[in-house]
Each structure stands twice: as structure tokens, then as C-alpha cells.
Amino acid sequence: MSKKYKYVNEEEKFWENSYRVWLSEFSDVIVNANNEQDALDYAIDYATKQKWEGLFLTPEEVKEIEEEGNIEDYICGGNESRYLSSLNVHIELLED
């Protein structure tokens, strides 16, 4: 695996791929993962740990959106099942 990127989960040594994950228009991270879903989960966990709270819906917002029937417009991931808007989420497989 190439060392040209700074990974947020460098200590994890089981990955197969490198991904750049944008959680918003301005917030991206590089992660090691086996697939896109794992990459998204690592990125969300990292953002949560770094307290990028403006990205995520509050539990009250999630409940309201579920009641309106619009939860499919949002992405859920990470160990804490955090929800965020799917509008600017983008996952790119990086080449070595």
C-alpha cells in the first residue's frame, strides 16, 4: 500500500483499498478499507471522534425525518449509526 496519503485509520492493517471520502463539500478524509461501506463507516467514525458535529443530524432531527418518511435521503453509518445528508457524500477509490 502506498504511503503517499495520510490515512485516518493507519493503525488498521487489514485493508484492501484506499478511499477518499467526502462527508460534505468541504470535509474529506483518506481511509483504508475493504469496500465503500467500510470506508464510509471509518470516515463517519473519524468525523464523530473529531467532533465534526455540524455534519450529523441530531436524534430529534432523525426522528422527525423518519416520521415524515424521508429518511432515505440520508446516509447512516459508523459505530454510532450517525445520519448525514447524502447530497455531498462521495466516495472515491484511490489508486496506489
Query: What number is the average pLDDT over the span 79-92?
Result: 93
pLDDT value at position 2?
44
Judged against a pLDDT cut of 60, whether residue 3 lies above it is answered with no
Distance CA 61, CA 55 (A): 12
Confidence of residue 57 (pLDDT cuts 50, 70, 90): very high
Judged against a pLDDT cut of 80, whether residue 13 lies above it is answered with no
Cβ burial of 19 (10 Å; 0-12, 13-18, 19+) is buried
> Where are the chain's structural domains?
17-94
